[in-house]
Amino acid sequence: MIVPSFRSFLVLLALLLNGVACHHAELELPLGVAGNSGASASAGEANFGGAAGEVGSADAGGDAGAGDAGAGDAGVAPYHMPPRVLSVTPADAATGVLKDTNVVIQFSAPMNQALTVKAVHAMLGSDVQVTWGRDGTQLTLDPKQDLSYATGSTAVAVEPLQYSVSIASSAADLAGNPLDSAFAISFHTACELTVNMTQDDSLGGWVTDSGDPTDMSKFVRPWIGDDLSDYPMRGFVSFDLKRLPDTLEAITQATLTVTQHDVQGEPFSLGALELDHVSFAALGLEAYKAEAVPSYGPLFAELTTEPVSVDVTATVRADFAAGPADTIRSQFRFAFESGSNMDGTSDTLILYPISLRVSYLVP
């Protein structure tokens, strides 16, 4: 029975001729049985041969070339990477943040929502509604009440309000990997300042339909109605907006408040008193006939001692945006529906005080 010995001799001879040094231990596996690394490594796991996704680390007969490194990286490596916070809005240390802002956090991987929410500590002034988007990678914190603004009349005297959000490292992704590190931001909301605008008396007063002006440098109150000659009279007021800073972020509110001061005759025999927003360069016929953009409609329909306030926010915003800064104004006209009742008597309404109060945001 010499055949097996002869076969072994041939095998050894072939190996020696190919320059392979063999040891007795390497021949313990039956000839023709391959290492078990090939199929498993392609799925991201290695048996007998190296760790998942590695190349050329086969042991105990594993075929180093059988593992698929690309598939291992794609299938497992990201699952073992800790999730990170990729971005957040508002940014850390942001200033001038608006009160209706939500905090939006973008993670690098789908998160375990229960663990992550439990790890969040939000100092946003009220309870927070939590929503998830983008397949569990985006967390939105929506305060049930808007954030607040610090308020005052000058920026020097106002400290912006601070809000913060932190996430502990106990937040985890769906594979159970904890957040790579704890995360925290803080930001400041804008300050809301409120000021009374100054009237430009040279562009306030009244004008008859003939274009004859009377400015408030002589009479500090606009008169509206008709005079003894039954000439219609329209009243005007102009507010200088130069007090508003160029750095303001937004005008949040503008309110015009008007009070009846005195009366002659029966001015409401001319109908209701209407309020228009107009634009003019000087008192005169131009102002009298200026197009109303917009018309706010009836302001008073009868005599009253109660002041009336009108929201003119959109108008003041447009005037401020139109510039230039050294000439910006908001201008208003008061006129009765009917110019005159032709009764030969003076029927006039005198308005005083008239104020424009503007609130705006600065960082």
14 pLDDT above the threshold of 60? no
pLDDT digits (tens, 9 = 90+) for 18-29: 443 333 333 232
Is the bond into 78 cis (omega within 30 degrees of 0)? no
User: Looking at domain 85-189, which CATH architecture does it have?
Assistant: Sandwich (2.60)
70 pLDDT above the threshold of 60? no
The amino acid occupying position 233 is M
DSSP 64-96: TTTS-HHHHHHHTGGGGSPP-EEEEESPTT--S
Rounded distance, CA 169 to CA 148, Å? 29
The boundaries of every CATH 2.60.120 domain in the chain are: 196-362
pLDDT digits (tens, 9 = 90+) for 115-167: 999 999 999 999 999 999 989 999 999 999 999 999 998 767 789 999 999 99
- Position 54 scores a pLDDT of 30
Q: Which CATH class is domain 196-362?
A: mainly beta
The boundaries of every CATH 2.60.40.3710 domain in the chain are: 85-189
Rounded distance, CA 141 to CA 163, Å? 13
Q: Supply the pTM of this predicted model.
A: 0.72
**Hunting for tokens 């041939």 — which residue is that?**
10
